[in-house]
Structures are given as structure tokens and as C-alpha cells.
Amino acid sequence: MARILSVAGLEVRRFVADRGDLALSLILPIAIFALMMGAFGGGSSFSATAFVVNLDEGRMGAELVARLEQVEGVRVKLLDADDAARRLESASVVNVIVLPADFSERLSAGQRTPIVVRRRGSGGQPGQIITGIARTISQEMAIEAAAGRYVQRLAGDIPASRVSEALDQALDAARSEPQVVVSTEVVGAQGVSVNRMLAGILVMFLMFSVTLSARGVVEDRRLGTLERLMTTRLSANQLFVGRFVAGIGRAVVQTAILMAVAYVLLRSASLAAHVWVLLLSALFAAAVSAIGLLISALARTPDQATWAAVFATMVMSIFGGAFFDLGSSGLFDVLSRFTLHRYAIQLIDGTLASGSIDWLAGRTSLLVLVVVTVGTLTVARMVFGVEAAR
Amino acid sequence: MLAILEAEELHKSFGDTAAVNGVSFSISEREIFGLLGPNGAGKTTTIRMLSTVLPPDAGSVSIAGHAFSDGTAPVRQLIGVCPQELALYPELSADENLIFFGRMTGLSRAQAKERAAETLQRIGLADRAGDAVRTFSGGMKRRVNIGIALMSRPRLLFLDEPTVGIDPQSRNHIFETVLQLRAEGMSVLYTTHYMEEADRLCDRIAIIDGGSIIALGTAADLKGRLGDPTRVTLEEVFLDLTGQSLRD
Ligand SMILES: Nc1ncnc2c1ncn2[C@@H]1O[C@H](COP(=O)(O)OP(=O)(O)OP(=O)(O)O)[C@@H](O)[C@H]1O
Ligand SMILES: [Mg+2]
């Protein structure tokens, strides 16, 4: 047992000592994730910052800002006029909403009320959306003001403060319990969610370690260390199991770091869900490691092993649905059933998306991974010859 | 004297090449036994068979009374092998290499650490213990290669051309180490092309060529065959026995 762990420990240490391998398995996935987030927008809901210069001398400007802040996905940043001009100049901000000094006065008097939008170029799509929202809210406030004036006229000699109080109450109630709700029905291919992307990248990079597993024994043969190990008390079984454990160990190191980064930066699920993902990754790594060992048992040279592993990685990555939706029928769906990615991504994405651990939902995928691991491992052990004698 | 190793009529062929063709000899306790031969003579193949890596086509070996035919596990606890080619993990430090292989011979973690420190001292690399072997000079790597073989404190040490490609200082250091090890009770099988090395170090020398031992005896015995042992060099004996033609 101690010897098995030593073999595994050695592999993990060699992995960590090799800056190239480490960079490939840690920095690259983070970089690709960042790139893809940029390219595909990542989050599925709208999120933007509204830059507002509030010159209004009344209270309706502040009211507009407050309501803008209530809108989901919108943050408000108030700027003074000079600051806004500077930021627009340097293009660090491309869209600024300016509420003029007489905003409240005109709005409550029922006069045309200009809102000035200062922007660079198109102002960007988020900027345009924010402008639209601000316009709608101002319009709403204008209508409320008009209703107030109308009710005041009807109310005759009831004091103005009582009327506006009652009106505010009624409007507040209406706002807090919105009458119109939007329900979304997605039709056709779904966009790739952050979780799906995270799962895809994680699985893809875990899959790369198939190359490392595949090279293991072949590399030992090349280094001469295999022959050396054969003169020690290490048995073929111990070497085999040690290598297998090493594959899992490497994956745990890799995933732990990636998941920690994901947890700190994205917080898209609970800590427990991230830890569960770590365990799922270890299971996936077990299957991958078994495939690596099989390749390593069959390959004669490190190059053969590498190419076989790269081929397996590519095929599974392409057809496993790491980055695009496979649809629920058709050729891709069928092909993907032969990849480990599909099952691993389903499990990891499912965990991150639901934010909790769901045994039942993932049981088929779990079963597939376990069966593949055990099956491949058995075959690999049968063809795993440590004989250097050739 | 008691024999630590006995080899009888070893044969090994690779395809049509008879690499080892009927080799028999024995090594006594505390003996440094030299295996001298030109390139391709069958030295490495012999060592690989004696160190349980390569099963012979025919013949028998026993080490400290354990016949290989009864299984090689007990034998592996008694031997240390320093292969001709470096067999190290280059990205790991000298210390890590020694500890890992020490662990593989059955040492506990604590034992392996202690033994590694001691071995690093012995091979003169204590101050570079933590550096990756990749950054070492050729001579330093060779010393690590030997050090690994010493980790288990073997009773029989196989050194396959341990001094290839290193400077006289490193070579001298290795000689001293080997003599020291013998003084501590170890037996050594030492192969080399360097005649003066064998002359200086080995208690007995076997000259092997074409897979067979063509002469065996002390350096003085072998020289005596050509004339006055004090004037004849081992090199002259070697060339006389093996001929001048190029090998391989
Ligand atoms: N694995 C192998 N496959 C095929 N032929 C081999 C193999 N190992 C050794 N041989 C052949 O067996 C013969 C003896 O080789 P061996 O390596 O034992 O010689 P050696 O005495 O150690 O030579 P050197 O001094 O060059 O190390 C050579 O002809 C070599 O080509
Ligand atoms: Mg040789």
C-alpha cells in the first residue's frame, strides 16, 4: 500500500515539477474560460451599469435613479458632469444619462421633459438598453404625476398632502405586486450557460491527463526507470494501481485549484456543490486514467502513446458536447453517447446549475462512469506488461 | 570463500544474435568482480539476467542461495543495480529520486529519508540534494545513478559501466566509494571498458567477448599469460585475447 502511494505520489510530484504540464492543466483552462465568457457573453441574463449625471434640483431625479436601481441586472453609478465628460473622453464609459436641473419641475408640471444621453458612438448595446429603461421609468413617473394632478382636481378641498399620500400608497402597492409578469419560453438551441462552459472546460482539461497517464509506463521504459523498478520489490500490480491512483491524484490537484478559482470568482453554486464537483471529477479522472493505462499498455513508444491519447481526447471533446448543445436526437446525440464527456458534463453542469447535490438525477451518468472505469481497468491490467524484455 | 552469486551456463539470444552464449562464473562475498569486454560483448545482457530483469533462455542463477527458478522476490531484496544508462527522473531532485527508489525497495519513509541523506553524503552531493537532477552535470547524474543502487544497502551491487563519460575526479570518487563499500561487506559486479580501472579495482576479472567468457582470473593471472605480470598491461592482454577488429 505504501509503495502504491509512493508511485502515485511520485507521479503527482513529477506533474507539479513540470511547469509545462502544470501550465497546460491550470492556466490554459482559466484563460479559455475567460475567452469564452467574453465571446459568448457567459451569463444568460442582462447585466449592466447605468452611468447617471443627476443635475435635477427636485426629488424626481433621485426617484428615477432609485427605480433604475430596482431593475434586475442594473447597477447605477452616479457621476458628476466633469467626471462623466472625462470618462466619455477616455472611452472608459460610453453611455451617460444626464438629468437636467429642471427635470422634476418639468415632469411634475406635465411639460415636455428632455433627458440628455451623452454617448460615444452607439453607446453600446447595454447603454441603449439602459437608456430605454430610463425613458420608460421617466414616462411612468410622468404619468403618475399627471394622475396626481387629475386626482387633485377631482378631490376639491381635500388637502393636497392627503391626496398625494393616498395616491403614493396605491401606486406603491401596484409596483410591489407587479401586474404584468414575463414568463420565458426558450425555443430551439439553448445558449451555453456559464456552468455548462465551466463543466466543459474542466472535463476537457481533465481529459488531457489521459496523455500523462498514457505516457507513464512508456516514459518509464524510455527513461530506464521501469527496468530499475523491476529490480526492486515493486510488483506489476502495485505499479499499475499506483499509476491509476496517480491519474486521480493529478485530477484532484487540478480540479481543486480550478474549482477554488471558480468558487471565488463566480460563486455560481454552494461550496458543497463545488466539493461534489471535485468528487465527480475524481470519478471522471478514474475513467480517464484507466483509458490512459490501457493506451500505455498497448503503446510501444512515448510518441505512439501521446498520439493515441490526443486522438482519444479530441474525439471525445468534439463529440462530447463540451461547448455546444447536442440536441436531444440526431447523429451528434448518438455519437456523444460514446464519449465520457457527455456523462461527466451532465453531472458537473447539473450540480453547478442546481447548486446542490442530486444523486438521483445523475445516477445513470454515475453508473456509466463507474462501469467504464472498472471495465477499462480490467482490460488494461490484462494487457499491462511490465516486461522490458523484448 | 562463500559465493554470493553463482551463474551457470547462461544463454540469451535476441532473434539471431546470441548476446550471451554459455556464461558461467561465481562471485564471492566481499569480492569486486570485473566483467571486461568490448562493445556488444554481452556484459549488459548478463547483468540484466543476473538482476532478475531479463529471464535467461537457458541456464541458472542463484544469489545468496536463492535460485531464481524459485522466484525472484527474495533476490530483489539483496541486490542493487546501477544500469549503464541513467535511470532517473530528471524533473525530480536527487533527494526525491533516492527516497522514491528507496521506498520501492521496501524502506519506510523515515528510513528512506535517513538513508538518502547518508547516500548523498557518500556520493558527494549533499549540497545539491534539493536540485532537480535535470540541472546536474553528467558526472553528478552518474553519481545519483549509483546512489540509487545503494539505497537498499544491497549485499550484491551491479555496476554497469558506472564511470562512462566522467572526469578523473568523479571517477576517483566512485573508485573510493566502491572500495569503501567492499570494506563494509558488499560484493560488486563491475563492468567497464577501462582496463586500468579493472586492474586497480577488481579482485578477479572475467574477459567476455561474443557472449562467452574467454578468460577469468586475477589481474596478475591474466597478465601472467602474456609474460611478466609487472610489465604487461591488462590492455595488452585484452587486445591479445579479443583481437583488434572493431566491434558492433
Ligand atoms: N534488447 C535487445 N534487442 C536486440 N538485441 C540486443 C538487445 N540487447 C542487446 N542486444 C544485442 O546483444 C549483444 C550484446 O549486447 P550488450 O548490451 O549485452 O553488450 P555490452 O557488452 O553491454 O556492450 P557495451 O559495452 O556497448 O555496453 C549486442 O549484439 C546487442 O546488439
Ligand atoms: Mg553494456
Q: Is B17 in the pocket of ligand 1 (CB under 6 A)?
A: yes
Kindly give the number of the ligand 1 atom that is closest to the alpha carbon of B12. 12
What percent of chain A lies above the pLDDT cut of 70?
90
Both A35 and A110 in one domain: the answer is no
Q: Is B40 in the pocket of ligand 1 (CB under 6 A)?
A: yes
Task: Return the ∠ at Cα A301 (arms to A296 and A302), rounded to 5°.
Answer: 70
Cell of A305: 502513446
- Assigned domain for A9 exists: yes
Both A311 and A245 in one domain: the answer is yes
Which of B51, B86, B92 lies closest to A231 in CB terms?
A: B51
Both A266 and A329 in one domain: the answer is yes
- Assigned domain for A27 exists: yes
Q: Is B53 in the pocket of ligand 1 (CB under 6 A)?
A: no
**Which of A176, A208, A239 corresponds to the end of one domain?**
A176
- Assigned domain for A31 exists: yes
For chain B, the C-alpha Rg in angstroms (whole number) is 18
Kindly give the number of the ligand 1 atom that is closest to the alpha carbon of B20. 14
**Which of A137, A152, A176 corresponds to the end of one domain?**
A176
**Alpha carbons A66 and B75: distance in angstroms, whole number:** 84
**Alpha carbons A346 and A5: distance in angstroms, whole number:** 31
**Which of A144, A176, A208 corresponds to the end of one domain?**
A176
Which of B53, B88, B148 lies closest to A388 in CB terms?
A: B53
pLDDT for A191? 53
Both A127 and A196 in one domain: the answer is no
Range of the domain at A123: 48-176
- Assigned domain for A186 exists: no
Both A163 and A306 in one domain: the answer is no
Please report the ipTM that was assigned to this predicted complex.
0.87
Contact flag B132-A230 (C-beta cutoff 8 Å): no
**Alpha carbons A72 and A182: distance in angstroms, whole number:** 13
User: Which residue minimizes the CA distance to atom 1 of ligand 1?
Assistant: A390
Average pLDDT over chain A, rounded to an integer? 81
Both A123 and A205 in one domain: the answer is no
**Min Cα–Cα distance to chain B from A7, Å:** 8
Both A132 and A213 in one domain: the answer is no
Contact flag A389-B92 (C-beta cutoff 8 Å): no
Q: Is B97 in the pocket of ligand 1 (CB under 6 A)?
A: no
Question: Which ranges in B15-106 belong to alpha helices (H)?
Answer: 43-50, 73-76, 94-104
Q: Which of A9-18, A228-237, A295-304, B78-87 is modeled with the greatest confidence?
A: B78-87
Both A262 and A285 in one domain: the answer is yes
Q: Which of B89, B99, B133, B134 to mutate to test the interface with A (most CBs of A within 10 A)?
A: B89
Both A161 and A205 in one domain: the answer is no
- Assigned domain for A141 exists: yes
**Residues, CB-to-ion distance under 5 Å, ligand 2:** B 43-44, 84
pLDDT band at A121 (very low <50, low <70, confident <90, very high): confident
pLDDT at residue A389 tops 50: no
* N-to-C CA span, chain B: 37
pLDDT for A313? 82
- Assigned domain for A330 exists: yes
**Alpha carbons B113 and B154: distance in angstroms, whole number:** 17
Q: Specify the DSSP class assigned to residue B20.
A: E
Cell of B165: 563519460
- Assigned domain for A323 exists: yes
pLDDT for B5? 94
Q: Is B41 in the pocket of ligand 1 (CB under 6 A)?
A: yes
Both A21 and A57 in one domain: the answer is no
Both A170 and A297 in one domain: the answer is no
C-alpha distances out from residue B200 to A133, A237, B205, B234, Å: 95, 43, 11, 10
Give the 3-state secondary structure of residue A34: helix
Report the number of distinct structural domains present in chain A.
2
pLDDT for B1? 61
User: Which residue minimizes the CA distance to atom 11 of ligand 1?
Assistant: B19
- Assigned domain for A182 exists: no
Q: How many CB atoms lie within 10 A of CB B209?
A: 19
| Angular region, B109: left φ>0, alpha ψ -120 to 50, beta rest | alpha
Chain B residue whose CA is closest to A10: B100
Both A68 and A136 in one domain: the answer is yes
